[in-house]
Amino acid sequence: MGFKVAIVGATGNVGREMLNILEERGFPIDEVVALASRRSLGTEVSFGDRTLKVKVLDTYDFSDTDLCIMSAGGNVSKEWSPKIGKQGCVVIDNSSAFRYDQDVPLIVPEVNPDAISLFTRKNIIANPNCSTAQLVVALKPLHDHARIKRVVVATYQSVSGAGKEGMDELFTQTRAVFVADPVEAKKFTKRIAFNVIPHIDVFMDDGFTKEEWKMVAETKKMLDPKIKLTATCVRVPVFIGHSEAVNIEFENPITADEAREILRDAPGCLVVDKREDGGYATPIDTAGEDATYISRIREDSTIDNGLSMWIVSDNLRKGAALNAVQIAELLVERGLITPKKKAA
């Protein structure tokens, strides 16, 4: 017997990918319900070869639903996740609303699967920020080997990280440039077409942005509170796939060859690292793929035990939908969730 699963935000970038991945990976589902705002009432979304009519979140009763995957932003999650959890439905939340709550586990299954047992406190599990998810998948096996002291990361984040409005803005502005129409910036703070913007999420008092702060806080929560991390997060005119230039300082010696071998064997990682033209991964190579790609691994002789590398992944998959589905699979594998219908 399978589960009854609700997807909140089913019409969005992440929600649609979530439906694809649940189907692709054969998650044990008896019934899947697509939910969104009133704007989407009657809209249809695909689940494998089936078509689902979208229902409205506000009027949906979760009492016989086993699992709810939330992908509708922080405000919707803050209002709804606790109510849904109280109805005995386990929530996997893609927003940042509960990521830093001590009673909510923040999980990347390749990194900290054992922390999941904490979910019973609120019936909520948080999915990390897209840029953190791919980073910690690559950092974890290296940390286990040589203990990471400090990470310096610059991100090159695609517009799909800002939802479907972000993708529409890049498309519309690019077309406007070619036909010499006026270029309007609505979703992003400056023009994104043929430009890069060193600003994602709001500014904090110390001059960092919230996106940069999230990478610090989430790496500490999932991997090791002792790791020091500093980030510069940048939006680039790429539709799908976040890239990261990463410099890592370790406590113990580690060579580029050792790192390459470790990452080749690590779950979720794919090393593409030939020192020749095109011998590295770019965002287009990773779109629609599950792995976190690691390229350009090299020793940094300016610090003791230093490595630099390039990490790329599909932000809608490992950065959001795939990781959420892997969390759902972990709940099932560990027997932490059973279908309500069976229990009744």
d(C-alpha 254, C-alpha 213), whole Å: 28
Supply the minimum distance, in Å, between the C-beta of residue 96 and ligand NAP.
7
How do 90-93 and 67-70 pair as beta strands? parallel
Active site residue 145: no
End-to-end CA distance of the chain: 13
Supply the minimum distance, in Å, between the C-beta of residue 210 and ligand NAP.
11
Residue with smallest beta-carbon separation from ligand NAP: 12
Supply the minimum distance, in Å, between the C-beta of residue 46 and ligand NAP.
14
DSSP labels, 167-223? HHHHHHHHHHHHTTPPP--SSSSS--TT--BS--S-B-TTS-BHHHHHHHHHHHHHT
- List contacts with ligand NAP (CB under 6 A): 8-15, 36-37, 39-40, 57, 71-73, 76, 94-95, 129-130, 160-161, 163-165, 315-316, 319-320
Supply the minimum distance, in Å, between the C-beta of residue 256 and ligand NAP.
30
Residue 161 vs 268, nearer CB to ligand NAP: 161
Which of 7, 52, 18 has the alpha carbon at shortest distance from 325? 18
Active site residue 130: yes
Residue 129 vs 305, nearer CB to ligand NAP: 129
Q: How far is CA 153 from CA 52, 176, 208, in A?
A: 40, 33, 13
Catalytic residue chosen out of the listed positions 68, 89, 130, 233: 130
Supply the minimum distance, in Å, between the C-beta of residue 301 and ligand NAP.
35
Supply the minimum distance, in Å, between the C-beta of residue 69 and ligand NAP.
10
d(C-alpha 245, C-alpha 311), whole Å: 7
d(C-alpha 199, C-alpha 233), whole Å: 6
Which of 274, 199, 193 has the alpha carbon at shortest distance from 238? 193
The contacts of residue 179 (CB under 8 Å, 6+ apart) are: none
Residue 9 vs 339, nearer CB to ligand NAP: 9
Residue 12 vs 141, nearer CB to ligand NAP: 12
Residue 254 vs 320, nearer CB to ligand NAP: 320
Residue 89 vs 248, nearer CB to ligand NAP: 89
Which of 331, 270, 318, 328 has the alpha carbon at shortest distance from 128? 318
The contacts of residue 195 (CB under 8 Å, 6+ apart) are: 237
Residues catalogued as catalytic: 130, 242
